[in-house]
Amino acid sequence: MRLVPGSDVPARELAPAGGPAVPVPDPDRLVHLQFRRFAGCPICNLHLRSFVTRHAEIEAAGIREIVVFHSTEQELREHVTGLPFPVVGDPRKRLYAEFGVESARRALLDPRVWGPLVRSSAVKTWRVLRSRERPPGARPTGGRLGLPGDFLIGADGRLVAAKYGEHAYDQWSVDELLALAAEAPDPSARP
C-alpha cells in the first residue's frame, strides 16, 4: 500500500547505526526519510554524496535527513562512517513494507538506470581501489533489487510529499527536496 500526501505517519523512534535514537516525526522540523537499497550500493552512494555535500543547506531549510537501508547494522557500519545524518538498518524490511517501498527487477533493468549504474560503479571501484570505501557484500541482506522511496514528513506527523522510485536511481534530488520543503507548513507556526 502506497502512502499519499496527507497520510498519517505513526510516531516512533528509529535506532541508527552507531548513534542515538531519532524521532519520526521530529516535533521541530521536517523529516526526509530516504529508503535506499543495501549498504555499499554504488548507486545509493552516488546519490547520497550529493546530500552530504549540501547537508548544511538541507539543515538550514529545516529538514532532518534519515536514511534507511535494508541491511544489518554490521553491514551499515562498514559503509556509513562520516555521513552527517542518521542511517538506519531495516534488514527485515518492516519499514519498507509499512511505507510501501518495494523490490522489483525493474530496479536494474530499466534503461534509465544504466548510465548512473555505470558511473556509480566506476566511482565505487576507484574509491575501493584507493582504500576510501569498502566494496559491497557479494550477497547483501535484502538483495540487490530494491527500489528507492522518498518521504517528507511534517512535524505534525502528516506526510507532506512522497516519491516511489521506478528504478534504482529514481529519487529526489537535493533541489527537489528543498523545493518541497519550501512549500511545506512551517512547524513553528503550529497553534
Q: Where are the alpha helices (DSSP H) in the chain?
A: 42-53, 55-60, 73-77, 94-99, 106-109, 114-129, 174-183
Helix/strand/coil percentages in the chain, nearest 5: 35, 20, 45
pLDDT of residue 62: 96
Please name the amino acid found at residue 88. V
Neighbours of 106 (CB within 10 A): 16
Inside any domain, residue 14: no
Inside any domain, residue 135: yes
pLDDT of residue 144: 64
Inside any domain, residue 95: yes
Q: Considering its fold, how many domains does the chain have in total?
A: 1
Enclosing domain of residue 42: 30-184
The CATH number given to whatever domain includes residue 84 is 3.40.30.10
pLDDT of residue 136: 63
Ranges of the chain with pLDDT below 50: 191
pLDDT of residue 129: 67
pLDDT of residue 92: 93
